[in-house]
């Protein structure tokens, strides 16, 4: 069996390799492995792959290598069906390009003021990511020019079709230069999308990737919605409540593995980092210690934990949500192996809910929402553990000396045994006090405001209602058409 192909083997430039290394990428996904060489060669491409299989890097990395930084005009245009996806793709381009000089990425979508978008275009953005409706607005204004466009990418083509953007997409494709490279990515390939490919793509290479997204039924999956700054405390509380022999925690970057592992060590957990910057000897040592019980927790990146199979692991925590679905499946697959049961938790910040929905949709499994353990939960758990230790101690040890000591203390202090016991209990509680201070996780969630329900009348009643309003002199039934001042009166789409 040959050695794995790395990003470095795909002729990716040094600055881009450094950026993807910071993100923990080493081995390309199947769609990246097949698409990157095609796009680097300048060929048109049809890529059929599920959302969450690494499509963004599959087109972003090769296209970044083809951009001329000293040419301040749009050279790459990416069409996305929604504002959220446009922001995600634009953010990915910025992450990959962070070591490239004088390269600017601009995200354009409806619902945002025109001013910042116009300034970004005037300042020479070479990569533009946007929703169809707002892109057409800028094309009609003359603010967005495609004369020097080298590559146009249509991302999530089937979603464009479902949301009714196909006419807009056709208009933008027709405005691109004839020699412009084009790439179309879609999870499915309905007939209208294939027709677009036939009309606008020249001799495209077609790639189909089967997504490996089956999750193990013996794994209970949960997600916790929280803010980024709440993750460290939430992790401590979750680990304390979940009584598992060993746990595996996944972070997005190598630096984060070290930070999280140190945070856990300071809190008294036996933990260690596992990442690609560590020597092979250190990595093997960490895994050996996890198997033997010297370690209970390993904090790892996806690549470092690949192929890890330790029977003790009963808990997986996704400290950072993975950007693709397949890594999520691989992560939680570190538990629940060989028919054993396991638990997997996913930390999700408010801006990452879309990734959660993608994971649920592609895997076909619903992930149950849960909350961070509250202080009362921790107090109950600590009291149970203290009682178990106490019962074990009384059953196994001769306590006659300590009983005599207590009797002497009650005589010398004048305290009753029931007054002395709480003080001794306080002294014996150890590093984790039985009483837990209240914090942000103890606040009751505020329910969202109820939306007013609009009363829907049958067609005959609606007509009667309108006529009644007119009869009573209601104003505003007919809206005067506002002057366009040279702007398109077509409603914005792609918000």
Residues 4-52 pLDDT 10s: 788 889 989 999 999 988 887 878 889 999 999 999 999 999 999 866 6
Task: Identify whether the C-beta of residue 33 lies closer than 8 Å to the C-beta of residue 207.
Answer: no
3-12, 70-79, 412-421, 433-442: which range is least confident on average? 433-442
Q: Which residue has the tokens 């972070």?
A: 251
Residue extents of the structural domains in the chain: 7-208, 219-373, 376-428
- Which tokens sit at 57? 């890097």
Please give the pLDDT value at position 488. 44
> Can 7-208 and 219-373 be said to share one CATH topology?
yes
Please give the pLDDT value at position 44. 96
**Distance from C-alpha of 335 to C-alpha of 343, rounded to nearest angstrom:** 7
Beta strands in 269-331 (DSSP E): 271-274, 297-300, 313-318
Q: Is the pLDDT of residue 168 over 80?
A: yes
Task: Identify whether the C-beta of residue 54 lies closer than 8 Å to the C-beta of residue 88.
Answer: no
pLDDT tens for each residue of 105-159: 999 998 889 999 999 999 999 999 999 999 999 999 999 999 999 999 999 888 8
Task: Identify whether the C-beta of residue 3 lies closer than 8 Å to the C-beta of residue 10.
Answer: no
Please give the pLDDT value at position 339. 54
pLDDT tens for each residue of 194-231: 999 999 999 999 999 876 555 566 789 999 999 999 99
**Distance from C-alpha of 213 to C-alpha of 50, rounded to nearest angstrom:** 10
- Residue 344, phi then psi, degrees to nearest 5: -135, 130
* Mean pLDDT score, 355-359: 90
Q: Topology of domain 219-373, per CATH?
A: Rossmann fold (3.40.50)
- pLDDT confidence bin for 430, thresholds 50/70/90: low
- Which tokens sit at 415? 């305290």
* Mean pLDDT score, 329-356: 84
Please give the pLDDT value at position 143. 94
* Mean pLDDT score, 78-83: 90
Please give the pLDDT value at position 71. 93
**Distance from C-alpha of 14 to C-alpha of 25, rounded to nearest angstrom:** 14
Report H helices in 293-416: 325-332, 353-363, 375-396, 400-413
- CATH code: domain 7-208 is 3.40.50.300
**Distance from C-alpha of 344 to C-alpha of 249, rounded to nearest angstrom:** 10
- Which tokens sit at 215? 């999750």
Task: Identify whether the C-beta of residue 250 lies closer than 8 Å to the C-beta of residue 239.
Answer: no
Q: At what angle do helices 14-22 and 83-96 cross, to 10 degrees?
A: 120
């Amino acid at each position: 069996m040959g050695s794995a192909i790395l990003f470095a083997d795909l002729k990716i430039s040094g600055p881009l390799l450094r950026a993807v290394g910071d993100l923990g990428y080493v081995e390309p996904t199947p769609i990246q492995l097949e698409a990157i060489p095609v796009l680097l060669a300048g060929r048109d491409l049809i890529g059929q792959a599920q959302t969450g299989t690494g499509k963004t890097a599959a087109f972003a990395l090769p296209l970044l290598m083809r951009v001329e930084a000293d040419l301040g005009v749009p050279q790459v245009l990416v069409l996305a069906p929604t504002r959220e996806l446009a922001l995600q793709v634009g953010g990915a381009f910025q992450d990959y390009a962070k070591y490239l000089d004088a390269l600017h990425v601009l995200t354009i979508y409806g619902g945002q003021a025109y001013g910042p978008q116009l300034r970004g275009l005037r300042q020479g953005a070479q990569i533009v990511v946007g929703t169809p409706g707002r892109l057409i607005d800028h094309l009609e204004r003359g603010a967005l020019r495609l004369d020097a466009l080298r590559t146009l990418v249509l991302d999530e083509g089937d979603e464009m079709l479902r949301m009714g953007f196909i006419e807009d997409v056709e208009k933008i494709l027709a405005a691109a230069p004839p020699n412009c490279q084009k790439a179309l990515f879609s999870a499915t390939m309905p007939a209208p999308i294939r027709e677009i490919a036939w009309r606008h793509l020249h001799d495209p290479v077609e790639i189909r990737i089967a997504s490996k997204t089956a999750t193990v039924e013996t794994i209970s999956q949960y997600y916790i919605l929280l803010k980024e700054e709440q993750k460290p405390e939430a992790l401590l509380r979750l680990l304390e409540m979940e009584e598992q022999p060993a746990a595996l925690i996944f972070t997005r970057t190598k630096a984060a593995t070290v930070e999280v592992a140190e945070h856990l060590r300071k809190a008294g957990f036996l933990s260690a980092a596992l990442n690609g910057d560590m020597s092979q000897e250190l990595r093997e040592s960490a895994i050996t210690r996890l198997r033997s019980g010297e370690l209970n927790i390993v904090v790892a990146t996806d690549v470092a934990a690949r192929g890890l199979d330790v029977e003790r692991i009963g808990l997986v925590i996704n400290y950072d949500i993975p950007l693709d679905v397949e890594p999520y499946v691989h992560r939680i697959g570190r538990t629940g192996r060989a028919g054993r049961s396991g638990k997997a938790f996913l930390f999700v910040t408010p801006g990452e809910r879309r990734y959660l929905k993608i994971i649920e949709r592609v895997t076909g499994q619903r992930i149950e929402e849960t909350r961070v353990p509250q202080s009362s939960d921790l107090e109950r758990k600590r009291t149970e553990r203290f009682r178990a230790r106490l019962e074990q101690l009384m059953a196994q040890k001769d306590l006659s000396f300590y009983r005599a000591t207590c009797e002497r203390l009650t005589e010398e202090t004048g305290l009753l045994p029931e007054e002395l016991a709480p003080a001794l209990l306080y002294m014996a509680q150890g590093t984790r006090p039985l009483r837990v201070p209240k914090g942000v996780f103890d606040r009751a969630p505020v329910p969202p405001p109820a939306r007013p329900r609009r009363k829907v009348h049958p067609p005959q009643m609606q007509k009667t209602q309108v006529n009644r309003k007119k009869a009573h002199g209601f104003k505003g039934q007919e809206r005067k058409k506002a002057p366009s001042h040279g702007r398109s009166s077509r409603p914005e789409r792609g918000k």
